[in-house]
Structure 1
Amino acid sequence: MLDTSHISSFQRSHGQARIVLGPRGIVDLAQSGSAKAMLPRATAGLPEIVFLNTSGGLTADDQLEYGVELRSGTRALATTQTAERAYRAEGNAASSHVRLSIGKNGWLDWLPQETILFDGAALDRVTEVDLAAGAGCLLLEIIVLGRLAMGETVSHLHLRDRRVVRREGHILHHDALALNDAGLRRLDGAAMLNGARAMATLTMIAPHAPDFLGCVRDVLNEPGVTSAASAPPGRLVLRFLARDDWPLRRQINRLLAALRPNSLPRIWQV
């Protein structure tokens, strides 16, 4: 029998992946540990960047970083190969940091697949976006509390999730979500999630973003999904709640078709 009494800590996962794209293609790529970045061959539409965490998920003290830099005039789409999973953590929270830099007149669609939070998960995540003059972005975040098809429930959780968008150093958009055990006990209230276990936010940052408000409201009609849309100056913000992630994904897919001329990430096809 293996004697593990001398082992004081488990091995932790650390990963960093960063890619730089210009109008003619890849400029630089750096990756280490469990984080990988891939560029599937695209025949049409935007260049696609696909990030992958080969560790299979995040637990205590894990660290994951993704980065995209688009040079002036560059347009691209970035996503993840599969859902990110945050597992039960015994110790410090896992850390996830996404850094997106978009050059002058550039555009990035950041469309990661969902994050699944398991019971006992602890995750601190920050998504930072730096926009140059004339640049814009579309940002998606989907969070699912447990594997709904397996009937899982989440009663213990630590989540600190922030998204910050700056243009030339000035904050344009700051969105934050915090959940803990006490908050989970109140989630079923009408002022919270009202029984939902899947939630999402889709944000467009661009001077013309409010112009889409009417057309997106016309497609907020997926059964089982509660949706709301607002259009502050220079932004379009949509929020969604659902008891199941499948109708949520169907609703988001239709919205993305209304907001962008390009097809969905090929890895999303189901």
Structure 2
Amino acid sequence: MYATALPFEPAAGVIVPGALRSRGRLLLHARFADGRTIPDRLEEEGPSRIRFPAAARRGRSLEGIILNTGGGVAGGDHFAARMEAGEGARLVLTSQAAEKCYRSDGGVSRLSVDLAVEAGASLDWLPQATILFDGARVTRSIRAEVAEGARLLLVESVILGRTARGERFTYGRLTDSWRIRRGGRLIYADGLSLDGAVGGVLARRACANGWAAFASLLLVAPDAMGRLDALREVGEALHEMRADVEIGVSAWDGMACVRLLAQDGAGLDAAIRRLIAPLGVCDPPRIWHF
């Protein structure tokens, strides 16, 4: 069933009952045992699922693939994930496909991610892109607690509108909040707020220059700052090869950060695949190849 037109505000008339909203929840604790990382505790609720294909195993690492069996995110849905890498564990998490956030009838979709990385552990959070349809209303939060000496890599990309169909994100809402703590101390805080008729704002040269895709890559690790030169080399090579991607790289306080702005999702994806290698990912998740 398809709806070709829905109001943006609840007062316009069409309101989906709360009982029909999706509520998804995941809890995973992975531990290191007998030379490899294994799922130790797993809870799934609603349309949220996670699978661990045998073909995705790589040495001591465990690769998990997150699924949304509901097929996307509608206005008013709420999805929460809590992922924990126990002491010495190596955990890689991605998604089955890009997450589609559909046009809202007025309700706000809420996406919450909580990550915990214990001593000597490593967690790579590598979901495929989040695609916002025009009129989507989404609030997302990412919280992470990293032990001293542990490693966390976050790669989050957003595509505003279905660019392959010529759609642009002209009206809607996206608020994004990142809070990363290491050893209990806040070391990274970031936020984004787009609300209402945002097409004009995104068209400004100092904002997105009319481009539709962006990403943040953040590495928290003891060797993060030592990767700055390699990241800059890749960034310079990409700048020479592609006119549809802008890249910024920085490193401080045991962190390395890459910001990407691209004309469309294809350029963004190509840049991410080149940049994750100097961030310590020798090969992307197997499902990225499909």
Question: What TM-score results when the alignment is normalised by the length of structure 2?
Answer: 0.87
User: 2:72 is matched with which residue?
Assistant: 57
Q: Unmatched 5+ residue regions in structure 1?
A: 1-6
Report the Cα offset of residue 43 of structure 1.
4.1
User: 2:153 is matched with which residue?
Assistant: 138
List, as ranges, runs of 4+ consecutive aligned residues in structure 1 with deviation greater than 6 Å. Answer: none
Report the Cα offset of residue 258 of structure 1.
2.5
Q: Would you say 1:124 and 2:142 are equivalent positions?
A: no
Give per-residue Cα distances to partners, 1:183-204, cap 9 Å, x unaligned: 4312121210112100011010
Report the Cα offset of residue 249 of structure 1.
0.8
CA distance in 2 between counterparts of 1:146 and 1:23 reads: 40
Residues 64 and 8 from structure 1, CA distance in 2 versus in 1: closer, same or farther, beyond 3 angstroms? closer
CA distance in 2 between counterparts of 1:125 and 1:33 reads: 19
Give per-residue Cα distances to partners, 1:139-171, cap 9 Å, x unaligned: 011000111110011211111111111123211
| Kept in 1: contact 2:170–2:199 (CA 8 A) | yes
Q: Would you say 1:22 and 2:42 are equivalent positions?
A: no
CA distance in 2 between counterparts of 1:77 and 1:43 reads: 10
Q: Would you say 1:260 and 2:273 are equivalent positions?
A: no
Aligned length: 265
CA distance in 1 between counterparts of 2:107 and 2:190 reads: 23
| Kept in 2: contact 1:51–1:66 (CA 8 A) | no
CA distance in 2 between counterparts of 1:121 and 1:36 reads: 23
One-letter amino acid of the structure 1 residue matched with residue 211 of structure 2: A
| Kept in 2: contact 1:18–1:37 (CA 8 A) | no
Identity %: 36
CA distance in 1 between counterparts of 2:102 and 2:153 reads: 28
CA distance in 2 between counterparts of 1:195 and 1:123 reads: 20
Match of 2:267 among 227, 247, 262: 247
| Kept in 2: contact 1:16–1:35 (CA 8 A) | yes
Map 1:141-156 onto structure 2 (within 5 A): 141-156=156-171
Residues 118 and 156 from structure 1, CA distance in 2 versus in 1: closer, same or farther, beyond 3 angstroms? same
User: 2:92 is matched with which residue?
Assistant: 77
Report the Cα offset of residue 240 of structure 1.
0.6
Report the Cα offset of residue 8 of structure 1.
6.8
Q: Would you say 1:226 and 2:246 are equivalent positions?
A: yes
CA distance in 1 between counterparts of 2:58 and 2:155 reads: 22
CA distance in 2 between counterparts of 1:261 and 1:33 reads: 31
Report the Cα offset of residue 181 of structure 1.
2.5
CA distance in 1 between counterparts of 2:16 and 2:99 reads: 27
CA distance in 2 between counterparts of 1:12 and 1:57 reads: 12
Give per-residue Cα distances to partners, 1:220-267, cap 9 Å, x unaligned: 133021101011221111001111111211111111122225321001
Match of 1:39 among 43, 48, 52: 52
RMSD of the alignment, in Å?
1.7
One-letter amino acid of the structure 2 residue matched with residue 37 of structure 1: I
1:171 is paired with a residue whose SS is strand
Q: Unmatched 5+ residue regions in structure 2?
A: 1-14
| Kept in 1: contact 2:171–2:198 (CA 8 A) | no
| Kept in 2: contact 1:207–1:233 (CA 8 A) | no
One-letter amino acid of the structure 2 residue matched with residue 31 of structure 1: E
Q: Which moved more, 1:154-163 or 1:111-120?
A: 154-163
